[in-house]
Structure 1
Amino acid sequence: MSAHINPNVFLIFTPDGIVLWDFEKHNQYSLAPEYTFRLVDIAYKRYAIARDDKIDIDLQGQNIIAEHPFSRPEWGWDILARIFHVGTKDIPQEMIPINGREWASCHTALCIETAKNRIPPFKQPRSTATLSLPRPDPAVLNSKTLWQSLLERRTCRKFRQEKISLQTLSTILYASFGFLDEREPGINEFVPKYLRQRRSSPSGGGLNSTEVYLFCNRVSDLGPGTYHYDPVTHGLTSIRETARENVLPSLLMGQYFSAELAFGVFIAGRFDRMWWKYGHSRAYRVSLLDVGHLSQTFQLVSTACGLKTWLSAAFRDSEVEELLEIKSPAEQVLLFVGAGYSDGEDIDTASREILTEYSMTNAHET
């Protein structure tokens, strides 16, 4: 009977040798050469398991090989997506608390132990080329009810190429991404000083494991270019000038209408801050959720300020990192969201022309 290899494993080649990952069971194994060669033989030659062979016994004992076919649930997507989802599913837990006191004891112990290590700091602004933004005007957000903003929020692909005021930008950045002084009184007394920053959106572990970068196209009194937003000081640090209109579409996989935006922000995950508290890879899911929360808040705030929004996860990662001068692998750009004045058109000009031509041709044929 032919041997079968577990479909939930993959090999990683490292300077120290080959590591086999069982991403379903969250186990890793360092493979000696003879174990690797045996798996290759089974994969290509379908050899049967030798019941008196130590290598086969070890591999079978760890459920890496079996005499029977492994279950292969229908996934319907690519293998990388499956590795990510299954690999961050069902976190191993040594002990499951049976009551509130026990859970609180375990969680408190984790927090105390984590606090013994220094959390990676937020990105520090440069001492030069720093711009203080005007004081935000939260009162403008009362011009629409939450329900109105929810109804009016719209993903648009046609903008009027009009400038917005620096005051409006300041309000949007502060309400969406700033650390809100107004929330300070509501923080409980047990939260350490270095974790007391609060945005308007929830954040995994209260860590605010994100950085925000502004791409300015059309903002009064602010030159076109890229900036880092500091949520502590509510200020901008200039990174580089980008006066060419085709820069943003080029970064965003040719989505040409992005050049019409007044401004946009790239939101980056700070994985090192997330890993500081959560060592398991499931925390990567939380990083994605953090970015999603910030994106929705940004869109609702922008809508309340009279703008329309557009967002995309399609961008050239390496080129964006170069433009924003992001050099650490522990910081990765995850999403772009932009805003500007618009009449609410959700189809871009070129697509509307093509669809109109198609409709007319199709109507003629029928």
Structure 2
Amino acid sequence: MTITQDHTRPIFPFTAIVGQEEMKLALLLNVIDPQIGGVMIMGDRGTGKSTTIRAVADLLPQIEVIDDDPFNSHASDYDLMSDAAKNRADQGLELSTKFIDVPMIDLPLGATEDRVCGTIDIEKALNEGIKTFEPGLLAKANRGILYVDEVNLLDDHLVDILLDSAASGWNTVEREGISIRHPSRFVLVGSGNPEEGELRPQLLDRFGMHAEIRTVKDPILRVQIVEQRSKFDCDPHTCLEEFRQHQDKLKQDIIAAQNRLSDVIIDYDLRVKISEVCGILDVDGLRGDIVSNRAAKAFAAYSGRNKVQISDIKKVITLCLRHRLRKDPLSTIDSGSKVSQVVDDIFPDEI
């Protein structure tokens, strides 16, 4: 077993990021429970979207993978193994492993379907009878984070592929009757600027959470953000050392929440109220109900509790529902405020 070390340039510490609490919370909940379904971050240019996403990946503990496996296969969990790794395990062969940093994969806007999904060498398959697969970005992102900047400018077909893989946990490539499948479990994070166009509602609904971020208006906060960034750019190692304790504590909190998550319960009456909110808001389908329940449990786990409280639901439900509301061009209030109003009506304040 080996441990690989990353010698790339330092990453801005997550705990040093000032403001943008909504985006930070959505990202943390998705790494605690990847089945929430990813997060769409929409906001102004230059608001730290990319910096925050890279910073949350840096918080996660290293993962153990099978050596020389292009899919980051797990050494013992069959659901996270490639077919080749399963065959070796079934034959009783020893699987050497190593620890790697959680993959953080950027998907460029100009990526082709072959680059995303991977390709099969048809000529070699036909002539030599060997299935030769060149893994794509979905293989590299397995058990990690896949980040798509300007996702609203990405071809809808590719967005569909990403969302399908994220939901099913598998990527299948088929060509000329030859099929190869590999695990593809990742947290899908998309970001974009609403001025450059919105995602189609059918695609937007597939993202678990939707965070909206705006440029900070408070001049004191703006100065603080600029100074923090300047300090890091001048001397990143001193800045990292300054926030090391905060970073270590947050890392431990994430691991504890991941371990506690399966034990967290949410009472039946609270689940009914969540569905009542979705009904009043006329949310299509049941994704809103499911994601709101999952996110509330993840937040309770992150808060160190085994039971969901009303405050947990209020904290996360706007993130889970605002992008699922039908667009009303005549409405004078934004979708987030509309969700908050209904939630306040349905959920009494805790005593």
Could you say which TM-score interval applies, normalised by the shorter chain? under 0.3
Bigger helix fraction? 2
Q: What's the TM-score once normalised by structure 1's chain length?
A: 0.23
Looking at both structures, which has the greater relative contact order when contacts are Cα pairs under 8 Å and sequence separation is at least 6? 2
Greater Rg over alpha carbons, structure: 1
**TM-score of the pair, normalised by structure 2:** 0.23
